[in-house]
Amino acid sequence: MEPIIRAVEAKGILTKSDLPVSDYSANPYVGCTHGCRYCYASFMKRFTNHQEPWGGFLDVKYWPEIGNPQKYAGKEVFLGSVTDPYLPQEAEYRRTRALLEQLAGSGVKLSIATKSDLVLRDLELIRTFPGARVSWSINTLDEGFKDDMDRAVSIERRFAAMEEFHRAGVRTTCFISPIFPGITDVEAIIMRAREHCNLIWLENLNLRGGFKGDIMGYIGRRQPRLLSLYRDIYERGDMGYWELLDGRLREFCARLGLDYVTDDDSMRRPFEATPVVVNYFYHERIKKSAGKGGGGRA
């Protein structure tokens, strides 16, 4: 079924952000046609008056042109906090492109999160932003599982876009998120990505809201061997899986010569020749458990 699309007038496009990675966020669309089954941003639906399911609608934002964009010089502007700025519809509506053109030459520090390779269209413009960063969400190498979870482009197309940006000198991130316990092969993704990115972020699957039942049902039907593990984690609050994975990945990265950290200042690190791996599993609690093991911050 095709999504319901409508144009909406917005008072502005830049919003002050509480995220640790940005000063401002910008979302040229409301809703997301990738329809990811695990998407935390589906909470946005209750503010939109849409009755359609998440993934079934898209509001295309039109805003007044940004006045004096230079006043944002040096500020971190994050595109894609609650929607993908490079949805397939961006090819037609070009609202992300319009935003980039309005900010060009302003001196903002640009960060983009996507699951798309449409971002390649804007490579030459993006690379004019000082210290620009682009991240791709990749949580599996299994295209079948990917298709079960989202309608975005293939994993291979994401990697190909990442590689092209990396060759062009744009700082790139492989965002391994969300990590599905017992399904996501984190080590294999790190091996596949490490030559083409500067950062690798790790984030656990956090089940909450309306999609928790859907994901638990999917595991019960398609991965019944994992159902008891998921019940331990998501019904009983057992942190054991993430603590073990944290330790295993710390050792794995050490063998590869990769810096493995549990802090959240990685966005402000200098451009690295080899990627830094950043662990964001239930962040505060994992830092404590890692510290008890004598590792602390890498």
Is 232 inside a domain boundary? no
The answer on 40 and 161 residing in a single domain is no
Cis peptide before 178 (omega within 30 of 0): yes
21 band by pLDDT with thresholds 50, 70 and 90 = confident
Q: Which residue stretches of 17-114 are H helix?
A: 90-93, 95-103
Candidates 152, 128, 129, 130; CA nearest to 139 is 152
Residues 190 and 155 grouped into a single domain: yes
141-168 pLDDT per residue, tens: 999 999 999 999 999 999 999 999 999 9
Same domain flag for 154 and 261: yes
Domain that holds residue 69: 1-112
* Residue 1 domain flag: yes
Q: Rounded distance, CA 9 to CA 177, Å?
A: 32
Q: Is the pLDDT of residue 212 over 80?
A: yes
Tell whether 214 is covered by a domain.
Answer: no
CB 31 within 8 A of CB 3: yes
User: Which of 63, 80, 112 is the endpoint of a domain?
Assistant: 112
Which two three-digit tokens encode residue 184? 């996501």
CA distance 8 to 61: 5
Contacts of 13 (CB under 8 A, 6+ apart): 26, 27, 28, 61, 63, 66, 99
Same domain, 70 and 164: no
In a domain, 252, yes or no: yes
Query: Considering the domain boundaries, does residue 222 fall inside one?
Result: no
Residue linked to tokens 């054991």 = 240
Residue 161 lies in a domain: yes
145 and 173 part of one domain? yes
298 pLDDT higher than 70: no
Query: Does residue 146 sit in the same domain as residue 291?
Result: yes
What interhelical angle do 186-193 and 155-167 show, nearest 10? Answer: 40
DSSP 225: G
Q: How many domains does the chain have?
A: 2
Residue 160's H or E segment, with its range, is helix 155-167
Q: Do 12 and 151 reside in the same domain of the chain?
A: no
Domain boundary among 46, 80, 112: 112
224 inside domain: no
> Crossing angle, helix 186-193 and helix 240-256, to 10 degrees?
30
Give residue 209's pLDDT band: very low, low, confident or very high (50, 70, 90). Answer: confident
**59/143 same-domain check:** no
pLDDT over threshold 60, residue 30: yes
Q: Domain ends where: 60, 81, 112?
A: 112
Model confidence at 62: pLDDT above 90: yes
Q: What percent of the chain has pLDDT over 70?
A: 86
| Whether residues 153 and 280 fall in one domain | yes
Using the predicted structure, report yes or no on whether residue 58 has a pLDDT greater than 90: yes
143 and 278 housed in the same domain: yes
Q: Establish if 229 belongs to a structural domain.
A: no
Which secondary structure element, helix H or strand E, spans residue 166, and what is its range?
helix 155-167
101 lies in the same domain as 25 = yes
Q: What is the pLDDT of residue 18?
A: 85
What's the whole-number average pLDDT of the chain? 89
238-269 confidence digits (pLDDT tens): 999 999 999 999 999 999 999 998 765 555 55
* Residues 156, 104 share a domain: no
Q: Kindly give, in sequence order, each residue whose CB lies less than 8 Å from that of residue 180, ignoring residues fewer than 6 positions away.
A: 139, 140, 205
